[in-house]
Structure 1
Amino acid sequence: MPHTRTDCREKSIYRAALWLIIAVYLAIGTLYAIETPAWQVPDEPAHYNYVKFIAEHGRLPELQPGDYPADYLEEIKARRFPSDMSIEPIRYEAHQPPLYYLTAAFVYRLVDLLPGGRHLLALRLLSLLYGVGALATGCLLIRRLLPHAPLLALGTVAFAATLPMHIAMSAAVNSDSLAIWLLSSIVLVVVSPGTRRWTLRRTAALGLLLGLAFLTKMQSYVGFGVALAALAWDTLWPGDDRTAPNGRLALGRAALMLGVALAVASPWLLRNIQTYGLDDPLAMARHDTVVEGQLTTREFLATSGPMMLAWSLAQTTFRSFWGQFGWMGVVLDERIYRALFLVSTIAGGGLLLRIARAVRDWRRDRELFSAEMRRGLALLTLWLALTALGYLWWNVKFVQHQGRYLFPALVPIGLAFTVGLREALTRSAQPVAVALAVGALALLALGLVTGDIRAFTTAMLAAASMAIVAGALLERRWTGSTLALYYGGMAGFALICLYLYIVPWLTP
């Protein structure tokens, strides 16, 4: 079917919007890479030393006792990494999978050939470029899954591109951006049209991606779970697709996929077995021994109790997802977190309303949502669930209440947030605005009775109610304009975080 002039115009607008989002991300990310004081991103010195060791010695480092100097680390952080204290002893990331560090070591060696030797900046910019790949792949993923909803694809990417904490981590020396890129690529392969055809080539390609993800970050288990779930779905619920695998073929394809992944990762695993022993191929036992002195969940429970643990987990996870900088020491103004919580609540409420409406529509018309869409959304939900479960599991052992560990699932999180926010600004604008106005009036009445008027929260609820009404009117005239304004505001907020919090609070 030939494309109409309107279709071509819409595609041009979509491409221009995507390039604009990526350009904004690159511009702000570059400022973060340049302006963030050296080593003032969690674990950056340890990641940097891993890269430096490979570049200078031509082999992988070995994680050894003493690589996590707890007292020294606390002192150097407290003194904001002064020039008279070396980062050399900080090497506790040496057990990590090597793919990112090998690519970064190549860049490190290239910088050696240039005058100035700004290795840290070059490595930060490398991570930022990996982030561009992750953004583009995430956008393509949602576009393939929801081809008639380009705004949702753009909103998903804009969420990640303007999230201050994500920008801070993307503009630092670590393997996060490459891991997110590979995970997004894996999910893209399994949700794209025609993926029910588990051909040998497609299965082997998926195994290759899984192997590369495994060689990048431990959280790659999420990719394995999503890929195997997709294969199981296509086997159990093939629908009308005659090319879907049967049980025997599915087992063969699973073996091929996992076999290719294992073959890709085997050199590193064999090296680890030789270095750390047959019973420790991932070096996790060595890691637990080396990081002695890191606060454990058991110790936290013994001193503070389960209620304080739950509160700390919820509060710190939320704050550090949006923005808690440095080594978790730079927190934003409490009023900012309240505003972010309100926006998150509005988006969450909008998402629930959209799901409820979708269920009602589906009950009336079972053909409304295609089998491919239901399958894809289920896999995205699994992606988020596995990431969240892994985060909780990690916190069973150590106190690691850091929202950035949820970033591998930024695509489903960004999609859910955008869907919810858009619902609150369109079809559900009236009930959302009324609920916010009622909340403001109720809080004001309570304050008048008790004598404790919470002026900021009351004003914030009232302003949000009016913003929803104004946004709904704007959406009727210019579709997508309110989302553009919101994410433009988030980009400005990211700059505020950089210049009002990160630079002044972390500069030695």
Structure 2
Amino acid sequence: MNCSRRRSLHPLIPLLAAFAVLVVLHGWATPLFEAPDEVWHYAYVRWLAEGHGLPSMKDNASGANQEVAQPPLYYAVAALLSAPFPDDDLQTLFWHNPHFGYQAPGTTPDNKNMLIHTPREGFPGRGAVLAVRIARFASLLFGLVTVCAAWGMGYEAFGNQRAALLTAALVGFHPQFVFMSSVVSNDSATAALSTATLWATARFLRRGITPHRAALVGALAGLAALTKTSALLLLPLTGLSLLWQGWRQTQEQPAPPRGMRRYRDTWRAALAFGLTALLVGGGWYLRNLFLYGDPLGMSHHVNTLWGRPAPVSLLALVPEFPLLWRSFWGAYGWGHVWWPDWIYVALTLLTLGALLHGLYRMLRSPRPASAVPSRRSRAIYLLCTFWLMGVFAALLHWMRQVEAPHGRLLFPAIGARDFKVPAALPAVTRSSSSRCSSPSPSWPPARGFWRLLRRQNYSRRR
């Protein structure tokens, strides 16, 4: 029986509905433009909606400040949604709060709003208020895509709905991700398309590579690169995964052709992947190269109030790690509205406990041969591990140049991170049907040192 025929999306629907309700509630509770850079993100959206084309990095005519260097996909979607709604009264919403206490001398930290808000901003509002809320709806849509993609990635890896739903729930109920999905920001778009790319890559790692599957991965990776430049890291990762899978398929053939002909299908798939990614996502970066001599637009971000005069060392970033950790879980407003300290302490202890539990199971829990993860399941686990490491390394590199200890910048890897929780829970990953069972990748594979330790521990107990 084909197990994929038995898969049902019905349990996912209540999860998506709950996520949407949480996002709407957060959007209702968050005053307009009281979210990280929302005022500049929306300026980008309106510039496109008014038909001005892409904003120029040579001036600030759009009012988007450093956000003009961001790739345009999220803003184009938000502009399409909000364009029918006039916002001629937009400037009346920018009533600066002189008592805003955010790193400013002479202010107190008890006033969290950057702007003064009036009852006219009531939900859903009219005029500019309604236009901004419609633009926020684009973030909700991308958030829903992220949850769905996390579900699909969990199913490809574990082969059962319990693990897939747990992966999706960990993403959908992540407090900071819910918040960022309720405001005008491109973070949810990057998370959505990065997670979707990982899902598509996991599919060909599990089911085999074909030119069509490779082209799909290339298209998704290209779209992800049109949301944030950090998503460019998907291209080498998915490209290497494609080559590895093609090589494995060739080796598994009973009588592979001789010479380079044996890799013909792999090269076709690689060509489909590369051309599709270039056609979908390459235009924006070529434009920047020809117009500004900077394909990534990094200089525009560095030359801001948050830019550092010179890159700092990694050691100098250590004092910023607590803020990075807090803002990953929950930091509202412009990053200065926090939970009580004990909540962050509890989350830290819970995370450390989960890591220690995973390490203990990896070293001390021998498994029968039937529970050893398959090669393809291990490949999916490695894919998520390397992506998580790559996103974190890219953030550290960025923090060396810009004061940006923002946990939301790790959201491109939120699906890869939450994928690892079901991996450590055999009761969740074990399929209820032996015909539909899928080996659980619940320990980090391809780590020779750890595998050697496990074999030694097992042999001693025997």
Quote the offset at 1:299 in angstroms.
7.9
- Report the 3-state secondary structure (helix = DSSP H, G, I; strand = E; otherwise coil) of the residue aligned with 1:42: coil
Quote the offset at 1:121 in angstroms.
0.8
Quote the offset at 1:115 in angstroms.
8.8
Q: Structure 1 residue 182 and structure 2 residue 193: aligned?
A: yes
Q: 2:296 aligns with which of 282, 297, 304?
A: 282
Quote the offset at 1:248 in angstroms.
6.1
Amino acid at match of 1:407: F
Q: Note closer, same or farther for the CA distance 1:179–1:309 as it changes in structure 2 (3 Å cut).
A: closer
1:98-109 pair list within 5 angstroms: 98-109=72-83
- Report the 3-state secondary structure (helix = DSSP H, G, I; strand = E; otherwise coil) of the residue aligned with 2:68: coil
Contact 2:149 2:195 in 1 (8 A): yes
Q: Which residue of 2 aligns with 1:133?
A: 145
CA distance in 2, matches of 1:227, 1:233: 10
Deviates more, 1:55-64 or 1:23-32: 55-64
Q: 2:348 aligns with which of 317, 341, 354?
A: 341
Q: Structure 1 residue 42 and structure 2 residue 36: aligned?
A: yes
Quote the offset at 1:146 in angstroms.
0.7
Q: Which residue of 1 aligns with 2:68?
A: 94
Q: 1:267 aligns with which of 266, 271, 283?
A: 283
Q: Note closer, same or farther for the CA distance 1:309–1:206 as it changes in structure 2 (3 Å cut).
A: closer
Amino acid at match of 1:379: L
Quote the offset at 1:142 in angstroms.
0.9
CA distance in 1, matches of 2:419, 2:84: 38
Contact 2:23 2:182 in 1 (8 A): yes
- Report the 3-state secondary structure (helix = DSSP H, G, I; strand = E; otherwise coil) of the residue aligned with 1:198: coil
- Report the 3-state secondary structure (helix = DSSP H, G, I; strand = E; otherwise coil) of the residue aligned with 2:306: coil
Q: 1:111 aligns with which of 64, 78, 85?
A: 85
CA distance in 1, matches of 2:266, 2:400: 34
Amino acid at match of 2:406: Q
- What do the CA deviations read for 1:303-354 (whole angstroms, capped 9, x no partner)? xxx76631322x1121111111222212221111111112212222222233
- What do the CA deviations read for 1:255-312 (whole angstroms, capped 9, x no partner)? 4422221122343234323432xx31232234433x2x215285877xxxx7663132
Q: Which residue of 2 aligns with 1:378?
A: 382
Q: 2:411 aligns with which of 400, 407, 411?
A: 407
Quote the offset at 1:356 in angstroms.
3.1
CA distance in 1, matches of 2:10, 2:269: 39
CA distance in 2, matches of 1:398, 1:161: 29
Quote the offset at 1:399 in angstroms.
2.2
1:63-462 pair list within 5 angstroms: 63-64=57-58, 89-112=63-86, 116-117=126-127, 118-148=130-160, 150-192=161-203, 197-238=208-249, 240-241=252-253, 246=262, 250-251=266-267, 253-276=269-292, 279-289=293-303, 291=304, 293-296=305-308, 298=310, 309-313=317-321, 315-356=322-363, 360-361=366-367, 365=369, 368-420=372-424, 422=425
Contact 2:190 2:231 in 1 (8 A): yes
Quote the offset at 1:139 in angstroms.
0.2
Comparing both structures, which one devotes a greater share of its residues to helix? 1
- What is the root-mean-square deviation of aligned Cα atoms in Å? 3.2
- Report the 3-state secondary structure (helix = DSSP H, G, I; strand = E; otherwise coil) of the residue aligned with 1:346: helix
Amino acid at match of 2:409: Y
Q: Note closer, same or farther for the CA distance 1:195–1:158 as it changes in structure 2 (3 Å cut).
A: closer
- What do the CA deviations read for 1:91-146 (whole angstroms, capped 9, x no partner)? 22011111111111111113339992311111112211211111012101111221
Amino acid at match of 1:35: A
Q: Note closer, same or farther for the CA distance 1:326–1:241 as it changes in structure 2 (3 Å cut).
A: farther
Contact 1:350 1:419 in 2 (8 A): no
Contact 1:206 1:257 in 2 (8 A): yes
Count of residue pairs the alignment pairs up: 385
Q: Which residue of 2 aligns with 1:474?
A: none
Q: Which residue of 1 aligns with 2:20?
A: 26
CA distance in 2, matches of 1:380, 1:412: 5
Q: Which residue of 2 aligns with 1:488?
A: none
Gaps of 5+ in 2: 88-123, 429-462
TM-score, normalization: structure 1? 0.68
Contact 1:351 1:416 in 2 (8 A): no
Amino acid at match of 2:166: G
Q: 2:49 aligns with which of 55, 74, 77?
A: 55
TM-score, normalization: structure 2? 0.75
Amino acid at match of 1:215: L
Gaps of 5+ in 1: 68-87, 427-508
Amino acid at match of 1:175: N
- What do the CA deviations read for 1:172-209 (whole angstroms, capped 9, x no partner)? 11222222222222222221157664333222222222
